[in-house]
Amino acid sequence: MTLFNLEFRRLLPAFMRGDIAILSLSQSMDTIFQQLATSILPLSTWDYIDDLGEAELDELAWELNILWWNSDADIETKREIVKTSDMVYKKLGTKWAVEKVITAYFGDGYIREWFQYSGEPGHFRVYSTNPSITEEKLNQFLDILYKVKRSSAILDGISITLTGEMKLSAGFGIHQYGTDTYVVQKPTDL
């Protein structure tokens, strides 16, 4: 049984199934629940966020009043923002909320508060390894950041760390005075 094909009489205890008034009421309940189930079906948007298109996500963001919404973001970012919007609103202004929004938009990022780097009280720094947070995206990043951070919190800076790999060789040599012994070791790869 589902709400669409409810048989309320089957839910009744055995001693009530013989009463015609109760059976009539049960049939009426079946009709009412089927109508309600049909009218509720479009409201289950949350079950289908991964199937919504960009226009629908933009509309949903407007309905939810997501302050940090960026309509230029890619569709996967938009879906993540909509999915987490309730939790971010509950914790808006906290380190967790800011990190959640930064991660959704820019993939990687975290915050260090003033006491973690010997700064002034109420200050913080943002760290990321995403090289795309450069001049063209900096204003977008700052706009989003100022919408979710606590208004009394002051941004000290944004640090972007880039990592890479390189081949490094090292070697050493020994020269001993007083004898003619020379030891030279071949460089090794690290």
Give residue 122's pLDDT: 92
Q: pTM, whole model, 2 decimals?
A: 0.60
Return the C-alpha torsion angle 153, 138, 81, 65, nearest 10. Answer: 70
- The phi and psi torsions of 173 (rounded to 5 degrees) equal -140, 155
Contact (CB, 8 A) for 114 and 121: yes
- Cβ(108)–Cβ(96) below 8 Å: no
Question: Does residue 190 surpass a pLDDT of 60?
Answer: no
Is the distance from CB of 30 to CB of 8 less than 8 angstroms? yes
* Interval 137-189: pLDDT, tens: 778 888 888 889 998 999 998 888 877 787 877 776 666 666 555 555 566 55
